Copies of this chain bind each other. A is one copy, B any other.
């Protein structure tokens, strides 16, 4: 209310506080992915603010893809099970046209001790146990993507090769369904490299053929890094797409 002094209490507008509380509820799992959250008027009553203020908080959360509005129905927690969300994290497209549906081939799923470069990224203890998944993805019978995926064993205790092979759909949807983990954001670092022996074999390329090397770190609520991937894309007939604005 006061705070005329030199910004002692780091003033933040009401709708930002509401947004923070909504985020806390999402993180705590009060509303699960795919579920409706209470209506704007209910939330306004709960937080004792006007509907317009709740609305502005929800506006920002929908802009970040954490919530999805559906007129007449309500506001829903975003989920990777949703049709529209399937391609949110896939930037690969065939040179001719639209998005591509890739076929999964899981090669392995093993426990391992986390190497240093992963512990740093995932902010876990040195030597903590990880699950390492190897996957190849094909399009029209041709291997396009080979990736290694690392997850903390603690959170993904029961994950195994059989589960993966039985799963149809995006990995992130599996994480939601089975491990109560919703991915919110990812950061990628991309390089062009000469394929090493393993990548060349998996992608049926000549040793040294140029491939895209994509390092991805995915974050759940609260900026928590949960998954790290090292992906190799074969880009002779497809490319990585990006829009700058």
Contacts and interface: CB of A to CB of B under 8 A. Distances in A.
Contacts of A21: none
Contacts of A180: none
Nearest to A212: B192
A219 B75 CA distance: 34
A103 interface: no
Interface stretch (A35-43, A134-142, A236-244): A236-244
Contacts of A184: 245
Contacts of A91: 242, 244
B244 A190 contact: no
A187 B239 CA distance: 12
Contacts of A25: none
A89 B245 CA distance: 7
A220 interface: no
A17 interface: no
B210 A244 contact: no
B187 A243 contact: yes
Copies of this chain present: 2
A244 B88 contact: yes
Interface in A127-149: none
Contact of A192 (B89, B187, B233, B243): B233
A105 interface: no
B243 A64 contact: no
A212 B185 contact: no
Contacts of A213: 192
A240 B215 CA distance: 10
Contact of A239 (B63, B191, B216, B239): B191
23 contacts: A63-B63, A64-B245, A88-B244, A89-B244, A91-B244, A93-B189, A185-B243, A186-B244, A186-B245, A187-B242, A187-B243, A187-B244, A189-B240, A190-B235, A191-B236, A191-B240, A192-B192, A192-B213, A193-B210, A194-B210, A210-B211, A212-B212, A216-B244
Interface of A: 63-65, 88-89, 91, 93, 184-194, 209-213, 216, 233, 235-236, 239-245
Q: Ordered nearest first, which 6 A-B pairs have the shortest CB separation?
A: A192-B192, A210-B210, A191-B235, A190-B240, A192-B210, A186-B244
